[in-house]
Amino acid sequence: MTAKRIGWGAVVLGFLAFFVAVPPLTVRSPIVVIVIAVAAMAAGSYAITAGEKRLGWGGIIAGMIGLVGGYAATQSGVANLERVVVWGALGAATLRYATPLIFGAVGGLFSERAGVINIGLEGMMLMGAFFGAWGADVTSSWLLGIVIAIAAGAVFGAIHALFAVSFRADQIVSGTALNLLAVGVTGYLFVEVYGDLGTPDDLPSVPNVSLPIDWLPLLGDIFGDLNLLVWLALAAVLMTWVFMFRTSWGLRLRSAGENPLAAETAGLNVVRTRYLAVMASGGLAAMGGAFLSIGFLHTFTQNMTAGRGFIALAALIFGRWRPGLALAATLLFGFGSALAQRLPVFSPSGAVLFQALPYVLTLIAVTGLIGRSIPPLALGRPLPRN
Amino acid sequence: MSAPPDSELPPNITVASRMATFFRGGGILAPLITILVAFLAGGLVVLATGHNPIETYQAIFKGSGFNWFFPWLSEDDRIIAALNLQQTLILTTPLILTGLAVAFAFRCGLFNIGGQGQYILGSIFAVWVGSSFDGMPALLHVLVAMLAGVLAGAVWAGIAGLLKALAGTNEVISTIMLNWIAIWTGVWIFNLGSPLQNDNPDQVDVPVSNDIVEGAKLPVFWGDPQLQGLHIGIFIALAALVVFWVLLNRTTLGYEVRAVGFNPDAAEASGINVRRNYVMVMAICGAFAGLGGALDLLGWQFRIATNDIQTHTLAFFGIAVALLGRNTAIGTLLGALLFAGLLTGTSVRNLDPTVFEPQLATNLTYMIQGLVVLLISTDVLVVYLLRRRRRK
């Protein structure tokens, strides 16, 4: 057996330690959990000594999570467990929570793969949230609401590009500025247009897609009645992957982020490429915002994105600037939120700590403990004046 | 794809050296024009939405209490202006400190977006120490509580410095993550049934901390303590400005910090321990921001609720303060006064609602803040100014 296989085995065992303790298996003996978790950590350690550091550490961490989670589950009541761990509902909630993150992360991918750091995702998402709601309200159409949201996000992206690409500004400073500006602009317009009453109750909302798969166990509960934007988010990941790694446009975009001087020499218009990439980034992030306001909550409140743009950025880094891995990261973070929402059955306050999980994981990821995240080489470097 | 050598990439300029163009050029003119453009743009938005921008800015100015300095003010108006000015100066205190937390990092070529988290850690520890140990001698209690806040902030920011030094982790990413970890830790720690939730039997269902005991409160020296008068924290913040200046301009550490900020490779080559500098600088930044959180708690807030932590935006103004103040001591002071005045002048308590709705005005402040940072992010304005000067 190769070290790689053992490493993967360690990861699987780690999650298994948690999985056996919750419904439907609901093993009540803590010894089973401990044995499986320790096996996971041992396999992980072996994988590290055999040279598979990243997987090995992943296995050890999975083992620790499984140990803590699984042990906690064996110590709590079966009735409580069955109320919390409803896989179908958890799966659907995971996708719901992940959707704005997916749009944000995919949006960030466009910008950062082209070499422009996008700290402003949060602001672009917030713009999408407000203009999605406002557009849907004014035009009485959720579809036009989304279109207006995308336009607003793209405009913000264009501002970011103007400063970051044309003016060669510091990209982190200008992104931070956009976040601050978005809070001000959306807050001002919201108070000006809607006052104390808030957005109207009859705000058009993006419909759910009902699939005739009720009879399927589990899958029916998860995928049977999802919002259209959830499906669009998943489609966006696939299309981004195809675009980025299977088309020549994607290759050009990536070359602008990896080696812009060489790309320029080869005849690529790096400035224009970066402009388009950052504007696409804004439009995608704005769709995530629009999901929050007219897909999920059916209202707009001031600063409603509440850091989701930053979690999306975290997912992008955690997912090493790759669409598939970034999707996995957003699902992991979304699962954390879905679980946190149900955990108050046990401890009302402890569940709050779960919200910090994405940030802790990303912090670990960027330190390189589980394999370093290597950003696009020219990330944050504007073209010099010629 | 094989990695091209670094020489084939566009130059990787540090924030500090890129900003240096901005800070060298244009003298005091560039920040002044930046403010002017931001206020003009804000005024246009006010005008476009059917309000009178001149009256609005006048009302905000009046609400900030800066008219207290006008000698021709009547006795009655002066009393109100004094109350308003006290509020402005109360906010100036944390803005100076969170501004310094950003400015000091910039001088070392680091971007500390983590002021918020460091401020929150400072306030958590200050409220913990300040609300426990009832009966400790008053002066000692205040000092210990402040020190706790300072150390907490320093350690929190030090994590980012350490990660940068040991693993090369980008401090922007790590401080953003640390911000959110701090927020959720704060929300948890004062939540129902959590370690630092208040033990007042009447407030079992309120997610708020214990109150700071009398002995740990900072004395009020101007105005009525019952009406949130001005506490002595402003002098501590002013002292921090002096410390910042001395540290940067009159110590070996400061020399090294500036050298690293300008060109880390050259600094390394000349024998400066760049990694140690990163850790030290971040810790000092965190100490400034943590002190800001501690002073706010011990000076006028006296308790902290989970809601305060989640809606907290003050520390983000530190970025605008530092950038506008060109990362200098005197500039940070002026920047802090400007934004404290704006925040106070647009608050529900101070702005005349018949002239302009305070809720709108608060968002106007955010917009102006965003525009200021956006305009400073580029050196276009300065390059333009320099060219004009050369032409003359």
Question: What number is the average pLDDT over the span A106-121?
Answer: 94
Say if residues A299 and A203 touch (Cβ distance below 8 Å).
yes
Half-sphere exposure of A75 (CA within 13 A, CB side): 8
Check CB contact under 8 Å for B188 and A380: no
Residues A98 and A49 in one domain: no
Mean pLDDT of chain A: 88
Residue of A126, A155, A173 to mutate for B, most B C-beta atoms under 10 A: A173
Check CB contact under 8 Å for B181 and A170: no
Segment B146-158, tens digit of pLDDT:
999 999 999 999 9
Which phi and psi (to 5°) does residue A373 adopt? Answer: -80, 120
**High-pLDDT (> 90) share of chain B, %:** 56
Which phi and psi (to 5°) does residue A217 adopt? Answer: -70, 145
The crossing angle, in degrees rounded to 10, of helices B171-189 and B115-131 is 30
Which phi and psi (to 5°) does residue A210 adopt? Answer: -90, 120
Q: CA-CA distance, A379 to B6, in Å (whole number)?
A: 12
Segment B293-304, tens digit of pLDDT:
999 999 999 999
Examine the pLDDT at A2 and tell me if it is beyond 90.
no
Maximum Cα–Cα distance across chain B: 75
* pLDDT score, position A111: 95
The residue out of A80, A104, A139 marking a domain boundary is A80
Examine the pLDDT at A255 and tell me if it is beyond 50.
yes
Check CB contact under 8 Å for A362 and B177: yes
Examine the pLDDT at B383 and tell me if it is beyond 70.
no
Examine the pLDDT at B379 and tell me if it is beyond 70.
no
* pLDDT score, position B91: 95
Examine the pLDDT at A370 and tell me if it is beyond 60.
no
Question: What number is the average pLDDT over the span B168-172?
Answer: 85
Segment B227-244, tens digit of pLDDT:
888 999 999 999 999 999
Closest Cα in chain B, distance from residue A336 (Å)? 14
Residue of B374, B376, B383, B387 to mutate for A, most A C-beta atoms under 10 A: B374
Q: CA-CA distance, A191 to A194, in Å (whole number)?
A: 5
* Partners of residue B380 in chain A, C-beta under 8 Å: 167, 169
What ranges in chain A are assigned the alpha helix state H?
Answer: 3-19, 30-49, 53-74, 78-84, 87-113, 121-139, 142-161, 171-194, 219-223, 228-246, 248-258, 260-265, 270-290, 308-318, 323-342, 350-353, 357-366
The tokens of A140 are what? 């009485």
* pLDDT score, position B1: 40
* Partners of residue B310 in chain A, C-beta under 8 Å: 306
Per-residue three-class SS string for B49-95: CCCCHHHHHHHHHHHHCHHHHCCCCCHHHHHHHHHHHHHHHHHHHHH
Q: What is the DSSP string of A35-85?
A: HHHHHHHHHHHHHHHTT-HHHHHHHHHHHHHHHHHHHHHHTS-HHHHHHH-
Q: What is the DSSP string of B36-55?
A: HHHHHHHHHHHHHTT--HHH
Question: What number is the average pLDDT over the span B231-260?
Answer: 94
* Partners of residue A167 in chain B, C-beta under 8 Å: 377-380
Determine which of A237-246, A323-332, B9-18, B127-136 has the lowest per-residue pLDDT on average.
B9-18
Examine the pLDDT at B382 and tell me if it is beyond 70.
no
Residue B2 banded pLDDT, cuts 50, 70, 90: very low
Residues A42 and A149 in one domain: no
Question: What number is the average pLDDT over the span A5-13?
Answer: 87
The tokens of A7 are what? 């490493």
Residue A314: CATH number of its domain: 1.10.3470
Could you give the ipTM of this predicted complex?
Answer: 0.87
* pLDDT score, position B179: 94
Check CB contact under 8 Å for A163 and B378: yes
Residues A30 and A131 in one domain: no
Of A159, A191, A366, the CB nearest to B359: A191
Examine the pLDDT at B23 and tell me if it is beyond 60.
no
Examine the pLDDT at B74 and tell me if it is beyond 80.
yes
Check CB contact under 8 Å for A180 and B366: yes
Determine which of A12-16, B24-28, B63-67, B162-166 has the lowest per-residue pLDDT on average.
B24-28
Closest Cα in chain B, distance from residue A140 (Å)? 23
Segment A41-58, tens digit of pLDDT:
999 888 888 888 778 888
Examine the pLDDT at B356 and tell me if it is beyond 80.
yes
Residue B352 banded pLDDT, cuts 50, 70, 90: confident
Residues A144 and A215 in one domain: yes
The tokens of B142 are what? 């205040």
* pLDDT score, position B231: 94
**High-pLDDT (> 70) share of chain A, %:** 96
Say if residues A140 and A203 touch (Cβ distance below 8 Å).
no
Amino acid at B335: G
Whether A383 maps to a domain, the answer reads no
Whether A381 maps to a domain, the answer reads no
Of B1, B11, B180, the CB nearest to A359: B180
- Under 8 Å CB pairs connecting chains A and B tally to 183
Nearest CA in chain B to A356: B181
Which phi and psi (to 5°) does residue A116 adopt? Answer: -115, 115
Q: Is the pTM of this model over 0.95?
A: no
Residue of B175, B339, B363, B382 to mutate for A, most A C-beta atoms under 10 A: B363
Residues A159 and A287 in one domain: yes
Question: What number is the average pLDDT over the span B183-207?
Answer: 86
Residues A304 and A174 in one domain: yes
Examine the pLDDT at B102 and tell me if it is beyond 90.
yes
Query: Is the pLDDT higher at A369 or at A88?
Result: A88
* pLDDT score, position B388: 61
Which phi and psi (to 5°) does residue B230 adopt? Answer: -80, 125
Question: What number is the average pLDDT over the span B333-361?
Answer: 90
Residues A279 and A241 in one domain: yes
Q: Which domain range does residue A316 map to? A: 87-366
What contacts B24, CB < 8 A, 6 or more positions away? none
Closest Cα in chain A, distance from residue B57 (Å)? 16
Determine which of A160-169, A214-223, B118-127 has the lowest per-residue pLDDT on average.
A214-223
Residues A271 and A346 in one domain: yes
Whether A372 maps to a domain, the answer reads no
* Partners of residue A363 in chain B, C-beta under 8 Å: 163, 174, 177-178, 181
Residues A241 and A352 in one domain: yes
Which phi and psi (to 5°) does residue B273 adopt? Answer: -80, 95
Residues A144 and A270 in one domain: yes
Whether A190 maps to a domain, the answer reads yes
* pLDDT score, position B251: 94
Segment A196-221, tens digit of pLDDT:
888 888 889 898 888 888 777 778 88
Most confident of A14-28, B55-69, B117-131: B117-131
Question: What number is the average pLDDT over the span B358-381?
Answer: 86
Whether A327 maps to a domain, the answer reads yes
The tokens of B302 are what? 């006296």
Residue keyed to tokens 């279109």: A147
Check CB contact under 8 Å for A176 and B178: no
Whether A56 maps to a domain, the answer reads yes
Residues A114 and A74 in one domain: no
Residues A142 and A288 in one domain: yes
Whether A384 maps to a domain, the answer reads no
So where are chain B's domains?
A: 29-64+322-384, 96-312
Question: What number is the average pLDDT over the span B179-207?
Answer: 87
Give the number of domains in chain A: 2
Check CB contact under 8 Å for B1 and A384: no
Examine the pLDDT at A229 and tell me if it is beyond 50.
yes
**High-pLDDT (> 70) share of chain B, %:** 90
